[in-house]
Amino acid sequence: MLYSNLSVNSLGHLTIAGIDAVELAASYGTPLYVLDEDRMRSKCRTYVEAMRSYLPEGSKPLFASKTLCFKGIYPVVESEGMDADVVSAGEVATAIAAGFPAERLYFHGSNKTDAEIAYGVEQGVGHFVVDNVDELETLSREALAHGITQKVLLRVTVGLDPHTLAAINTGRVDSQFGVPIETGQALRFVRQAINTEGVEVEGFHSHIGSQIFEPDSFCDQVDRLLAFACEVRDELGFIARTFNLGGGIAVPYVESDPKVDIAANIAAIAQHLNEGCTQANYPAPRVLMEPGRSIVADSGVTLYSAGRIKTIEGYRSYVMVDGGMTDNPRYALYKSAYTVLNASQANAPADFECTIAGRCCESGDRIAENISIAKPEHGDIIAVLATGAYNFAMSSNYNRVMRPALVMISDGEARLAVRRQTIEDLLALEA
């Protein structure tokens, strides 16, 4: 199996963290999001420990909330010693409702509204990651109105192309996120920020993209951030205490993807940073990282029931499932590859070539194309692996399909963390 928490039991059913997937589907219904909490915890620990051992004191990972945001995730993140980043009032409110300390939140977003900035300050959000000069002015006004000094990081773009998908590549000069170093604007941004009342600049943030397999891009990012920090020191006399490197470490979704060693990536980043700082005689800043995908993606599995199976003679066969782009829009958005299994016949040969289609009136509603699985019977449970990141978070009610429930597994026990949406939920907002 692609992931170590998956196995097959004596009934020939797929098991997830020791629990029969077919039984889970019977108990909670389908489609169903399943999250293996223990596996997620082990990812958190890998980050916390590697960052603690290789990077300067105070370095730690923040969980990128946007990947999977619901109340039940925050006690896990908190107890593993991670902080969290959030990108909207909704994410701030969810974290706080779950009892997560506001002081440990980092508030992101290229277009935070004035109301969101006010709300974040009121709630005592520990750090703002300021994206642009306009935001700086609003934040300063709010901080002064509340009689506080708001700690901030300034988001800059290092001008790097990590050769990932254009849609998730955010570090280039021409981007709606952050202020570019290359054009000289980032230096002016820092000058203005350190002279702004009510804010205290702690350092810089940059995020270069997502699903990055090799440490080289992160090492380049560190080099460029450090060169920028030295320029800032020489021009303005300001020393950054924090570098936030964003997220982006990849996860293998299919067998042919390379394996990823998170700790080795962190060690490579640390070596670059430490050597770079020594060479430049720059006091080593603490490092923050914002992993999302690599914390939760491969701890998640989505279970569907196989419905109609249709063969278009001379072309191909379709297995239609009771969810699709409404619970997982990633294939429609990015043509993302997934590993799909017939969980009801997990030992049978995977020799039925098919395309897994969703239930929406949209020919792009697919989960995987031209894959091979054990030939399903109507009602078999179809498992799609590594759906923990950007699935629940990106779900929609298109075609008025209701959002699935989400179940968390820990210590061999499953529990409902988010209940299935109902027709009443759907209609509740309408006059």
Residue 207 CB, nearest approach to ligand PLP (Å): 4
Q: Write phi, then psi, for 311 (nearest 5 degrees).
A: -110, 125
Residue 341 CB, nearest approach to ligand PLP (Å): 24
Q: Which of 293, 330, 359, 366 binds ligand PLP (CB under 6 A)?
A: 293
Query: What DSSP string runs through 341-362?
Result: EEGGGTTS---EEEEEE-SSS-
Q: Which is nearer to ligand PLP, 382 or 389 (CB)?
A: 389
Q: Which is nearer to ligand PLP, 176 or 183 (CB)?
A: 176
- Enumerate residues 67-106 that contact ligand PLP by CB under 6 A: 67, 85
294 binding ligand PLP? (CB under 6 A): yes
Q: Which of 15, 65, 94, 210 binds ligand PLP (CB under 6 A)?
A: 210
Q: Is 173 exposed, middle or buried (0-12, 13-18, 19+ CB in 10 A)?
A: middle
Buried b (16+ CB within 10 A) or exposed e, 3-37: bebbebbeeebbbbbebbbbebbeebebbbbbbbb
169 binding ligand PLP? (CB under 6 A): no
Distance (Å, rounded) from C-alpha 354 to C-alpha 92? 42
108 binding ligand PLP? (CB under 6 A): yes
Q: Which is nearer to ligand PLP, 388 or 404 (CB)?
A: 388
For residue 219, indicate whether it is catalytic.
no
List alpha helices for 281-430, DSSP H.
Answer: 293-296, 330-334, 423-427
Handedness of CA 399, 111, 241, 91 (dihedral sign): negative
Residue 236 CB, nearest approach to ligand PLP (Å): 25
Query: What DSSP string runs through 177-199?
Result: SSEESTTSHHHHHHHHHHT-TTE
Q: Which of 78, 290, 322, 380 binds ligand PLP (CB under 6 A)?
A: 290
Residue 126 CB, nearest approach to ligand PLP (Å): 16
Residue 240 CB, nearest approach to ligand PLP (Å): 17
Binding piece for ligand PLP, criterion CB under 6 A, among 91-99, 120-128, 288-296, 336-344: 288-296
356 binding ligand PLP? (CB under 6 A): no
292 binding ligand PLP? (CB under 6 A): yes
Binding piece for ligand PLP, criterion CB under 6 A, among 39-47, 52-60, 246-254, 370-378: 246-254
Type of residue numbered 12? G
Tokens of 147: 């009689």
Residue 289 CB, nearest approach to ligand PLP (Å): 8
* Chain residue at closest Cβ approach to ligand PLP: 247
CA distances from 152 to 37, 126, 210, 231, 351 (A): 31, 8, 23, 19, 55
Q: ∠ at Cα 157 (116, 105), nearest 5°? A: 35
Tokens of 373: 């699985």
246 binding ligand PLP? (CB under 6 A): yes
CB 204 within 8 A of CB 153: yes
CA dihedral 275, 278, 279, 284 (to 10 degrees): 90
Residue 153 CB, nearest approach to ligand PLP (Å): 11
Q: Which is nearer to ligand PLP, 247 or 300 (CB)?
A: 247
Q: Helix, strand, or coil here: 20?
A: strand
- Catalytic one of 69, 219, 360, 361: 361
Per the listing, tokens 């449970």 go with 381
178 binding ligand PLP? (CB under 6 A): no
Tokens of 427: 């209609």
248 binding ligand PLP? (CB under 6 A): yes
- Enumerate residues 9-38 that contact ligand PLP by CB under 6 A: none
Q: Which is nearer to ligand PLP, 150 or 294 (CB)?
A: 294
Binding piece for ligand PLP, criterion CB under 6 A, among 49-57, 93-101, 146-154, 245-253: 245-253
List alpha helices for 286-401, DSSP H.
Answer: 293-296, 330-334
Q: Which is nearer to ligand PLP, 167 or 280 (CB)?
A: 167
Residue 378 CB, nearest approach to ligand PLP (Å): 36
Interface positions with ligand PLP (CB under 6 A): 64, 66-67, 85, 108, 207, 210, 246-248, 290-294, 389
Residues with catalytic annotation?
361
